[in-house]
Structure 1
Amino acid sequence: MSESIVGKKTFEFAIQIVNFYKKFSIEKKEYILSKQILRSETSVGANVREALNAQSKMDFIHKLSISQKECDETIYWLELLFATEYISKEEFESLKGQAQEILKIIRSIIITTKNKTHNS
């Protein structure tokens, strides 16, 4: 899974969010909401990476479940930034679309792993 789609996508998205945060904090001088999205999104990839070193299937599912929650939280912060007019519709749709794609992949992996665990 180290070369997995979800690992690659979460890392690439984290890079975008880090760059977004740097730009956002300089241009908009907004630090609270942007720091929240930085924390939640970088946690997604970190927990995916931790899942690679899981000690069991349940640990794997647990780490991915944390990633799932953090990804959904990232979407919340994006929605809030958009609703308060800190980000444009184009930025919002692009970032939210990427986050939703990652969320779907993570959910799918969790479901598949749970099904394999129960059928074993």
Structure 2
Amino acid sequence: MANVIVDKTFRFAQEIIGAYLFLREHGHFKLADQLVKAGTSIGANVEEAQAAHSKLDFVAKLTISNKEARETRYWIRVLDRKELLGENQSMPYLKNEIEEIILLLNSIIKKSRENLQ
């Protein structure tokens, strides 16, 4: 059975790696490092949540993932300049997908917290 958030965050991480490599090719090493750290951490924490030992642990891992997603959204906004990633072909995908991931994580976290009650 497919898991939408696991699949979305994995595909997103792959695109982030592409943007990372593009930034490094153009000499933006520190910005590239910031983007790849936050952008790949989203899916890593979602993956960890799949093996959570409790519902509370599940919520905690997804909350970390949500924070990383918000940080990633910040870096995408910072990098949305012509001389950085603004004209990169992956930028529209990254901008749209990070919004969807944040909304999905918010929904899963909210529903999971309600189920804890």
Q: How does 1:1-120 map to 2 (within 5 A)?
A: 3-26=2-25, 28-83=26-81, 85-88=83-86, 91-118=90-117
Shift of 1:35: 0.8
List structure 1 segments (4+ residues) > 6 angstroms apart after TM superposition.
Answer: none
Q: Distance in 1 between matches of 2:2 and 2:64?
A: 20
Q: Which amino acid aligns with 1:43?
A: S
TM-score (normalizing by structure 2): 0.91
Shift of 1:85: 4.3
Aligned residues: 116
> Tell me, which stretches of 5 or more residues in structure 2 are unaligned?
none
Counting helix residues as a fraction of each chain, which structure ranks higher?
A: 1
TM-score (normalizing by structure 1): 0.89
Q: Distance in 1 between matches of 2:82 and 2:71?
A: 17
Shift of 1:19: 1.4
- Alignment check: 8 A CA contact 2:16 2:39 kept: yes
> Tell me, which stretches of 5 or more residues in structure 1 are unaligned?
none
